[in-house]
Structure 1
Amino acid sequence: MTEALHPNHGGEPGLDELTRELALDPDRRSPHEVAGALETMVLHPDYPCLGARSVFNRDRATVVALGEMATEGATALLYDALCAFGRDTDQGAGFASLVAVFPDTVVDSETAFESLLWRQLEQLHEADQQPWSPHVSDDPANPHFAFSVAGTAYFVVGLHPAASRIARRTPLPTLVFNLHQQFEDLRASERFERMRDTIRRRDTALQGDVNPMVADHGAGSEARQYSGREVPTDWTAPVSFDEENP
């Protein structure tokens, strides 16, 4: 393991310090305040994910505040938001994400957050009356799995105050739904490998080690990456989205 780098940019706190400060100040309830906190974090010079930086730089983040995660009310609101997002977003205009924040949810560990994340995705699926996206698998163990809502595939990123990875640490529990098609479009171009390698290099510099859960789509199930927790090799998702084999 190498020592993490936390450079000081003109007196600006390092990202590790910033995320800890934000996590200690969870009194950010409105979508505007939540978006501001996330933008501050993502646009910090040390933040490794270039795609997320692009989303906020280009005003392509749709932020919704939903109360308590994995409740009936939050699920209904999130489902409606995802349906509208998938329907109305121009997928050819670059990176775009729906950011769902749950200000009434208390998370004190990575395992607790992981459980909530999968419960929330399961409830979304139960509310979904449309077929799974035909472009991805509905089996979380399949290397070509991606989550689907209203026929649109998403790569889900979980963020929360108790995350061990600095880039996953946010003041409030958050689920980011990234359009899966944007990664496929990037992969079809010549920019994918360069961007991937840059992100991994920046994350290693920030954290001090390589994120052990990162894998290219098709090399292993992306479900293992959703919660941000380092899971064992024999990990399986606690839910099934296959209607024939629940």
Structure 2
Amino acid sequence: MTLEDADFSGRRLDDMSVANGSKLVRCDFRKAKVQGGGLGGGFEPSFYIDCVFDGAHLKRLVPGRASFVNCSFRNVKIEKMMCHEAEFVDCVFSGLLRDVTFSARPWDNERLGRTRNEYRGNDLTGARLEGVSFRGGIDLDLQRLPAGDEYLLVRDAAQVLERARAAIASWPEDELKMDANPPLSVLESDCNSGQKDIFVEKRFLGRLPETVSRLVPLLGG
């Protein structure tokens, strides 16, 4: 199915379903509220080209095998979206992204027909990222990431985390050690997925302010 210039703006879609190699071109989802369903179901990848999602609220959507090319996600609210087989190229994001995972490593290479999900040219400088993970070997230098004291870019993360582990072991405070271990385990999992550099919120590094203040310089901040 190919759909061009369709207008879904302002619609409430409780169970959106796009699947099986569909192609949406210049479709308008401005201010739509989508609270479930899938954007790329079935075995064949679906494509969104030059589509506009500005002002939309997208929650608990399954991106599936969808490719988004030159799409606009300005002033959006995107929540609880796991992008394990989706890809994004030359897209713009602003607004809030909360509990979102982007991954360059597909779950099912054979059925998807590719070994990598493409991520390049995406602009997230205007977005607020809360609980957002980049995994599977996404090249962060090919994206534009938000700046600010609340974020930290960890280069060569595997080696940095290994040194941080050793430093934490020497801390005399057991409470701080226990606080630091869970977030470091998550970051190590990102590395194990193939991620070279990690972009993280500083507040994610611990419940206690003292934990965060000690970890940030260890991670290069």
TM-score by length of 2: 0.27
Rg bigger for which structure? 2
TM-score by length of 1: 0.25
Structure having the larger proportion of residues in helix: 1
| More contact order relative to length (CA 8 Å, sep ≥ 6) | 1
